[in-house]
Amino acid sequence: MRFARHRTANGPQLAVLDDAQVLVDLPTDRHLPHLLAEAGLLTDLAEKALHTRTSVTALTAAQLLAPLAPPTIRDFSTFPEHTAGIVKTTDPAAGIPPEFWEIPTFYFSNPYAVVGPYDQVPIPPNCSRFDYELEVAAVVGRAGRDLSVEEARDHIAGFVILNDFSARDVQFHEMRLRLGPAKGKDTATALGSLFVTADELLDRQSGPSYNLRMQVFVNGELLGEDSLDNMAWSFPALAAYASRGTWIRPGDLLGSGTCQGGCLAELWGRHGADFHPPLQPGDEVVTTVELLGETRNRIVAGPKPHDIQPWPRHRILDTDHQSR
């Protein structure tokens, strides 16, 4: 099944999408993570809605929101060709780190930064190299801890497009402290127009993932495309690693990481920093993934940063230390 969340006079409403591209509201005001937490409840409500059709809206007329408000977002790195390109932004001779093949590493992103598929996206303060990232995220449907890869398969409820907007200059600056990324990833993460249940993709299974074409456009120009099955780590592997020593819970997002050619930073690493300009106010970024819908976000100007300084005494001590 396919689901979307749209704006109504009574607030955000979850709906099931029928074959005629019509949204049929579910008979509940509860949101996706809560419905996933009770086995079978989402499907039962969707079938009831499709039978009664009490409230319907054409998809083209709906004001779509992010399909869910995830409690956590773990964003992984699973596409080797993307990694091979991105490392060249700091070292042209670098290759894929051996650790890529040892663990599906991730960072925690900011759930408060989630925006909808058609929302405007402001450029972060102090950023001059703003970027997009074309990804797909698995949505956790069942709580679990210390799962095996095989066990983790049943904990993935479905999928949604994820566009991890990134302030590259801010990101690379802060990561010199060997932490992060932090503010470089903190302004906007766009989620796609649809949440698609895992069973909808069964006939597109391929290797570690699914044979789904992924594309990203800026102002109508195709800048990157790949297939989701070029992931080196499967979504169940991501779920298993995420659950190691802790819990994953319904609604948690597990991002695939950027696909090959799916961001400007990778293109800069492969072709030089002037290959394509960073995102600017007025640019439109569109991501599409077969069967999963799209995001279509307009970039707008953001606020200027407020000045932040360290405590003066410590700055003096650091200057004195460096002079010795």
In the chain, where does DSSP find H-type helix? 32-36, 41-52, 80-86, 149-152, 168-174, 235-242, 264-271, 312-323
pLDDT in the model for residue 320: 59
pLDDT in the model for residue 90: 84
The single-letter DSSP state of residue 200 is G
Rg (CA), the chain: 21
Question: Cβ(155)–Cβ(142) under 8 Å?
Answer: yes
* Superfamily for the 73-300 domain: Fumarylacetoacetase-like, C-terminal domain (3.90.850.10)
Please provide the size of the chain in residues.
324
What does pTM read for this prediction? 0.94
Phi and psi angles of residue 143, each rounded to the nearest 5 degrees, phi first: -70, 150
Position 322 pLDDT exceeds 70: no
Cα 217 to Cα 74, 229, 286: the distances in Å are: 25, 20, 5
Averaged pLDDT for residues 159-172: 97
pLDDT in tens, 43-101: 999 999 999 999 999 999 999 999 999 999 999 999 999 999 999 988 888 899 999 99
Position 324 pLDDT exceeds 60: no
Long-range contacts of 69-72 (CB under 8 A, 24+ apart): 69/31, 69/33, 69/111, 69/114, 69/251, 70/33, 70/111, 70/114, 70/139, 70/251, 70/252, 70/253, 71/33, 71/111, 71/249, 71/251, 71/252, 72/108, 72/111, 72/249, 72/252, 72/253
pLDDT in the model for residue 194: 98
Position 206 pLDDT exceeds 80: yes
pLDDT in the model for residue 180: 83
Q: What percent of the chain has pLDDT over 70?
A: 97
The single-letter DSSP state of residue 204 is G
- All residues at 6 or more sequence positions from 223 whose CB lies less than 8 Å from its CB, including other chains: 216, 217, 261, 264, 267, 276
pLDDT in the model for residue 269: 94
Across all residues in the chain, what is the average pLDDT? Answer: 95
Q: Give me the residue spans of the domains in the chain.
A: 2-65, 73-300
Between CA 87 and CA 94 the distance in angstroms is: 6
pLDDT in the model for residue 321: 58
Cis preceding-peptide flag for 181 (omega within 30 of 0): yes
* Candidate from 15-24, 236-245, 313-322 with smallest mean pLDDT: 313-322
pLDDT in tens, 114-128: 999 999 999 999 999
